Structure 1
């Protein structure tokens, strides 16, 4: 194994001498023996999401092939028929796969987002039951409202009064992390307090996700696997971070078990309490599930909201319409009515924002057998096929010539009988921001609830103004979730 790695490290520099990568490499990329398209991948490493998106757009079928070193071929698609094929019609054929499972196993174990087959079905059924209860929805509403009114809004009020610059991306990430920990564990890491502390649990989670993401980008899995065996570098830190996460989760779980034994002491309806109360007491099983939900909820809503506020600043007419809708929903005490689902224009604006900047820009499956896709392309057993929401949201073939415009109206239609404007959802295989098919996101409704409450609370009082030079555009970077490179510095202005 080590000899193969050393051979790789000797050959690749020689190939780079003969095939020196250029940052403006044309598509489709040229493929060479052994290294495949790696020279182009390396040249575009700073803009991989845009580069692969271009590859999809330049294909007549919206499906492109990427050849990674040592035969690690990959299909990348933005074709809705292909997306439906892999996410629904042939669901059993396209699985998470062994490679993805191995990469994320140290962090997620056998949690719902990292398993297939019967393991996935069991967790999905259990989770579906938990997420469908009204009591959980009310608990989520309480958690979000508390974090919003007691932490986020007071922090923004102080920033507005002092005319200070805040990193809104960091603030929203802290807000989301506090929320998801409360929902999952009924534990408050208090990341969004005035001192903006670096909580040990939050830092460990950040490091574990970052290093797990880096595993996907290595030229060969041999590199990170050898580092893990030798317990050096990033793999050493990953081991430490995961140990911190699981020790903390175990401590919380033992406390929940005691609450279940003394039923009169149960006061919360967080996810962990529900799983333990359902009779599932295996520590690894429950820990994997709850860590998976923190993983899923940690950055997705914050990423969506970060880009949303950026787009509002660029489109003041849209912001005005949203503020008008918010003011129309105000209760007598100045708060927003519970039924934020009636805020259709705000909902449409969030969907439009995620079309351009999806929180999860790319997701992949592995073929378990040879297959032919609806567009005629052939997939071999063991090959990874990734569907590309970022590319799909920017495809003229799917959204028309005005795809570059931030236009919430494309999600709305008027009911001719009532003259009422209604939200019109898109085909989930054209807009797979929340996945689609059997694995569609269970937390979709709760995510919109959280985002709309934040939008209503913030925009009712404030205007968010980016603290950047005119003409400066933020850089979209993508790992397992998306974010703005370098953060999102803003000034908060009181709305008159």
Structure 2
């Protein structure tokens, strides 16, 4: 998951202002076409008025800017927005070392993530990436993940939905999915089940809420226009910084307790903590930083993606019917009508469901903007110049709506675009950037699909899901959550 977006939104105004303060030039037309498009600003203040005007709608603004450029790149110095797959490949792979995570981003988020993989650079990042890559590619981990998803689905999610269906209760499906995901990621990372979906554990509830509070407070810190503001607040230990300190003390206390317990037990297991703790050369603090990054990466992205998926399907009954037909066909071939969940092999056979999830992610990516800081001057493949210290961003949100990439029907939800002869056909990660690309490509991609498909298939097969209030606006936090949640009414189906 990419966290740099949080800091970008607050600092983008200052970047433009301070850069343009040193550039005095004549007023020029708003759009000046070159190889890419350049937005020329005004003397002294540069493009500051544009940033102020669009600060609350940056995703839509970028998506509107991209089509104005013949190359899919727009320069608003010292920021470059691009939706050009060749440029993305250059940033994410070809010239990867020139575009690390920005130092100011790392400094802002360090108190929460420490030296974790989400904000690490250089050799520290490579070490964690190598270790994590080995773990993510083991068959035992995939089996462990599916086992946890099955248990949570059968024993908590389905019973909860059945109760809601019988009582007529309106559920916030986004909240349900977030609790489901937190239970699963904690089981995967720590080997501990907080039981948040069933609300059976006071300690689990406390961990769930304090982790959420800490993440929201770190977002607030990142949104400060000047880093001096939060640094002063931290030094004085007042306001939101005091609350953040207390929240982090509790979060770190929980994780440290898990680590100590596992060290003392010296037992093996399928969870990450067991795997990392087995190596006695790593400090408890370093393991804590790694594990917190994993929890955050898995806590928000999957439930955000599923929330938008069910919202889209609420207006696409024909897609729902095709998914149900696929489930029925696969069950028929395998003869497991009585099983409440599908096996890993059956989930992999579900090409149309995979296409529908991918199509939803194309239009509503959990992480809609990704940014990097240029260490040195550079030139992108489309001829765009990048200055030293500039911010370069590519937007999965804008790229998913780019006609040059997806065709004239790019704004339509059409899973069939992913299918050829009834088989799912993947595309280049440099044009479909939902899971990032290059060396930083999401390690949990396959596991995310397993979880999303397992949950989606279980719900769609057994229930009708009716969205009862108008929704569709996004809210930028750690991910692109749905503003106001997703209130639904559930009804059991006769299968």
Q: Using a 3 Å threshold, how does the CA distance of structure 1 residues 358 and 183 change in structure 2: closer, same or farther?
A: same
Runs of 4+ residues deviating >6 angstroms: 27-30, 195-198
TM-superposed deviation, 1:232: 2.1
Are 1:50 and 2:60 counterparts? yes
Residue equivalent to 1:417: none
Residue equivalent to 2:81: 76
Are 1:387 and 2:397 counterparts? no
Pick from 152, 161, 170 the counterpart of residue 156 of structure 1. Answer: 161
Deviations 1:226-274 (A, max 9, x none): 22222222222222221111111111100011122xxxxx253100110
Structure 1 unaligned spans of 5+:
1-7, 13-26, 68-72, 261-265, 415-420
Distance 2:178 2:240 in 1: 23
Pick from 362, 368, 373 the counterpart of residue 375 of structure 2. Answer: 368
Distance 1:252 1:85 in 2: 41
Distance 2:86 2:182 in 1: 35
Pick from 487, 490, 494 the counterpart of residue 489 of structure 1. Answer: 487
Distance 1:40 1:196 in 2: 49
Distance 2:145 2:180 in 1: 13
SS at match of 1:114: coil
Count of residues in Structure 1 that have an aligned counterpart in Structure 2: 454
Structure 2 unaligned spans of 5+:
1-13, 19-36
Residue equivalent to 1:343: 350
Q: Using a 3 Å threshold, how does the CA distance of structure 1 residues 233 and 58 change in structure 2: closer, same or farther?
A: farther
Deviations 1:378-400 (A, max 9, x none): 11222221110000001111111
Residue equivalent to 2:364: 357
Residue equivalent to 1:214: 220
Are 1:62 and 2:72 counterparts? yes
Distance 1:174 1:34 in 2: 48
Deviations 1:53-86 (A, max 9, x none): 222233332222345xxxxx32221111111000
Question: 8 Å contact 2:149–2:451 — kept in the other structure?
Answer: yes
TM-score, normalised via structure 1 length? 0.87
User: What does residue range 46-445 of structure 1 map to in structure 2 within 5 Å?
Assistant: 46-66=56-76, 73-193=78-198, 199-260=205-266, 266=267, 268-330=269-331, 331-335=336-340, 336-339=342-345, 340-414=347-421, 421-445=422-446
User: What does residue range 465-480 of structure 1 map to in structure 2 within 5 Å?
Assistant: 465-468=466-469, 472-480=470-478
TM-score, normalised via structure 2 length? 0.87
Residue equivalent to 2:22: none
TM-superposed deviation, 1:278: 3.0
SS at match of 1:490: strand
Question: 8 Å contact 2:268–2:275 — kept in the other structure?
Answer: no
Distance 2:218 2:65 in 1: 26
Deviations 1:25-71 (A, max 9, x none): xx98774566543433333333222122222233332222345xxxx
Distance 2:40 2:212 in 1: 36
